[in-house]
Amino acid sequence: MSNKFSDLSLNQELLKNLDELGFTAMTPIQEQGLPVVLEGKDVIAQAKTGSGKTAAFGLSILNSLVIDDLNIQSIILCPTRELAEQVAKEIRTLARMVQNVKVLTLCGGVAQIHQERSLSYGAHIIVGTPGRVLRLLKEDILSIKTVKTFVLDEADRMLDMGFNADIMDIAFCLPKQHQTLLFSATYPEGIRELSKSIQQDAVEVRVDVDHEPNSINQIFFEVKKHQDKNGALLKILGRYKPDRLIIFCKTKQITSDLAVFLNKNGISAEGIHGDLQQNERTAVLTKFSNRSLSVLVATDVAARGLDIQELAAVINFDLPSDPEIYVHRIGRTGRAGKNGQAFSLFVARSHFLLTSIEEQLHMKCKIEYVEDISDAEVYDLYPPMKTMYIGGGKKNKLRPGDILGALVGEAKLKPEEVGDISVFNILSYVAVEKSKLADAVEKLKNGKIKNRKFKVGRA
């Protein structure tokens, strides 16, 4: 089987764009999944985050799109707003050379009236979260009777978040003849049942599920009791000194408490969990992505769908009960041929969880003891960047270039002192070298962007 996009029956515009993007060879999930998807068959696919699965369904959707028809032709469901926006962005990138493709995101955390207005103009592809999509369907604002392709991305997390009934209700509104594509990082029993309910003769594709054991240094640290975990964590960080990491916890409360504890001990950390407002969540994830936050403390559900590159380490403050979730967690480090680190804390009575992980990975877990780590090693971690916010975004027709121009012209920053610029609907975030932040904020408060004044401050 060829792994070249050029050997597939894709439109010339898509092939030309892939070539310009430097996408010549397919990833394993694309190589095995895309030809089957292009044939119009139902597919249930398993692949880890960052494996290129969006292109595995996105290219097929774009390939069959009828541009002159502004009835909805495809709908993609995702567990979180962040993942939906990420998927929509990737599809727009894949569609760069296809004229007039309209991709619309329908998620909570955004005023519904704006989405209703956008829907009134029509769209080719909908990317959204189950709750908001179902609400619009029930209010007869959205119709999916013309959909040809129905995609569930990160389906296992949607089930974890209690969206099973919503998914079934949405599927009921689809036309009888359509293609259903189900993508999941893990295969719990609920996924099998969901597939049987909404798919017909689905082709199973399982690739890239396991990680190269040699690319990730996995160490399990035994502690006597749960109360010892905070001190153990500081010792582990002191010994290995990762500069950017995610720490996984099992509950919202542990996540919040641990983030507070780390900050008190000189480590820049923030938590994400289900109780955060959408704007708070967006701010935290943006800061972590643009390197003005070093440590993200998260629950599994809150962290799902994040595609954060170049993580030095992943730490399991609490081991998951499902070994597939463990594999998915640690797969966020050691990517793109680089080495990663995965550290896990456990108490003696949880030793059975290590046995299931060993069976999943087909290798013995390396166990060490926190008592053997010296107390003398000091570790503090403050990121090189800080983030400022600007009270304007896409609705104000702001672009990253406009903001960079103002920071260079009005705030007198050098371009290399400015990091990632993220422009959202009504708000923008900019990473700035931390020593320059206060001065940049003050000057931009008194300056203008595109000849307009905007509210500016520290995020």
Q: Could you tell me the two tokens for 317?
A: 């403050």
Question: Do 56 and 163 sit in the same domain of this protein?
Answer: yes
- On whether residue 378 sits in a domain, the answer given is no
pLDDT at 304: 63
Instruction: Fill in the amino acid letter for 199.
Output: Q
- Alpha-helical runs (H) found in 241-376: 252-264, 278-289, 300-303, 323-330, 351-361
Please state, in angstroms and rounded to a whole number, the distance separating the CA atoms of residues 128 and 255: 27
Instruction: Fill in the amino acid letter for 8.
Output: L
pLDDT at 379: 80
Question: Do 170 and 253 sit in the same domain of this protein?
Answer: no
Strand order in the sheet with 456-458: 418-423, 428-433, 385-390, 456-458
Strand order in the sheet with 125-128: 103-106, 125-128, 74-77, 149-152, 179-184, 43-46, 203-206
Q: Is 275 helix (H, G, I), strand (E, B) or coil?
A: coil
Digits of tens for pLDDT over the chain (459 positions)? Answer: 567 888 898 999 999 999 888 887 888 899 999 999 999 999 999 876 667 889 999 999 999 999 999 999 999 999 888 889 889 999 999 999 999 999 999 998 788 999 999 999 999 999 999 999 999 999 999 999 999 999 999 898 888 888 999 999 999 999 999 999 999 887 778 898 999 999 999 999 987 555 555 578 999 999 999 999 999 999 999 999 999 999 999 999 999 999 999 999 999 999 988 777 878 888 898 899 899 999 999 987 766 656 676 789 999 999 988 887 888 888 888 766 678 899 999 998 888 999 999 988 888 999 998 888 887 677 888 898 999 999 999 889 999 999 999 999 988 999 999 999 999 888 999 999 999 999 999 999 888 999 999 999 998
Please state, in angstroms and rounded to a whole number, the distance separating the CA atoms of residues 373 and 127: 48
Question: Do 229 and 314 sit in the same domain of this protein?
Answer: yes
Instruction: Fill in the amino acid letter for 394.
Output: K
- On whether residue 226 sits in a domain, the answer given is yes
- On whether residue 420 sits in a domain, the answer given is yes
Question: Do 149 and 225 sit in the same domain of this protein?
Answer: no
Residue 225's CB is within 10 A of a number of other CB atoms, namely 9
pLDDT at 425: 84
Question: Do 241 and 290 sit in the same domain of this protein?
Answer: yes
Q: Give the residue from 349, 372, 395 where a domain finishes.
A: 372
Question: Do 117 and 86 sit in the same domain of this protein?
Answer: yes
Q: Could you tell me the two tokens for 380?
A: 């503090």
Count up the domains in the chain and report the number. 3
* Domain membership of residue 320 as a residue range: 213-372
- DSSP string of 328-343? HHHTTBS-TT--EEEE
Domain with residue 426: its CATH number is 3.30.70.330
Question: Do 234 and 314 sit in the same domain of this protein?
Answer: yes
Q: Is 393 helix (H, G, I), strand (E, B) or coil?
A: coil
Dihedral of CA atoms 244, 248, 254, 260 in degrees, nearest 10, equals 0
- On whether residue 343 sits in a domain, the answer given is yes
H helices then E strands: how many in the chain? Answer: 17, 18
pLDDT at 34: 93
362-366: long-range pairs with CB below 8 Å, 24+: 363/213, 365/218, 365/220, 366/218, 366/219, 366/220
Query: What Cα–Cα distance (Å) separates residue 10 from each residue in 29, 150, 239?
Result: 17, 20, 51
Domain with residue 334: its CATH number is 3.40.50.300
pLDDT at 108: 87
Q: Could you tell me the two tokens for 104?
A: 């619309």
Supply the pTM of this predicted model. 0.70
Cα radius of gyration rounded to whole Å, the chain = 23
3-class SS letters over 129-188? CHHHHHHHHHCCCCCCCCCCEEEECCHHHHHHCCCHHHHHHHHHCCCCCCEEEEEECCCC
Question: Do 181 and 217 sit in the same domain of this protein?
Answer: no
Question: Do 199 and 237 sit in the same domain of this protein?
Answer: no
